[in-house]
Amino acid sequence: NKDWRTIESQDQGSRIDNVLLKISESIIGGKPKKAIPQLFSRKTYSSVNAISISDRVSRVLAVKANSNLSYDEIAKKLGVTNVYAAQLLMGQAKLTPQTAQKLKDTLPEISDDDIDSMQKDFPMRSFDEEILKEPNVYRTYEAITHNGEAIKAIINEQCGDGIMSAIDFYMDVGTTTGKNGEKRVVISFNGKFLPFIEQTAEDNGAPSPRE
């Protein structure tokens, strides 16, 4: 006599495992016994249909793979950064109406239902902590954290007391060639500076909780 919510949750988890297993097979070939945990998030939320979003992402990425287009090429056609193009396909950014038709023209095999979902369903912008075990991701994280104090000091020196926005924000990934002919990775962050404000009572438009 298990609670129906427990049964439903277990069933949803099982179906997500099956979806991720199929994606694993398509990426690495063969038939792995289980999905690669580092690559996929299994977090579910009551406000998001995780199964339908996972299904959509797998379909859209399959279309991208069949198109033989790179993220750079897709981004150029959409007029966005290559990171944002990847975020759109992976369900981590919301597709706008003005970009929807461009995406349909670029990847015509994406169904109208999936294009509609990409516009209507709000992303749950989160990540599975397992992804930090993936070396490429971890080294990027390490580069930010190890240089974080220096980055903060320079931002404060050049802009004042505040932070870089990750919402009014652009990110682009590219490569360059080093002096010894080696390929090097270049990651560009471009975020609006947001200064901390002085919280003066005169400028506080909200009613006082003491009244």
φ, ψ of residue 165 in degrees (nearest 5): -70, 140
Active-site residue, 59 included: no
Closest to 118 measured CA to CA, from 150, 95, 146, 92? 95
> Catalytic residue among 26, 70, 165, 188, which?
165
Closest to 71 measured CA to CA, from 91, 95, 87, 53? 87
Q: For residues 116 and 136, what is the distance between their CA atoms, to the nearest angstrom?
A: 32
> Catalytic residue among 52, 70, 139, 184, which?
139
Q: Contact, 194 vs 163, CB < 8 A?
A: yes
Q: For residues 25 and 22, what is the distance between their CA atoms, to the nearest angstrom?
A: 5
Active-site residue, 73 included: no
> Catalytic residue among 142, 157, 184, 188, which?
142
Q: For residues 55 and 67, what is the distance between their CA atoms, to the nearest angstrom?
A: 19
- 82-89 and 50-67 helices, crossing angle to 10°: 130
Q: Region of 15 please: left (phi>0), alpha (psi -120 to 50) or beta.
A: alpha
**Tokens read off for 186:** 């270049």
Q: For residues 85 and 72, what is the distance between their CA atoms, to the nearest angstrom?
A: 8
- Catalytic residue ranges: 139, 142, 165
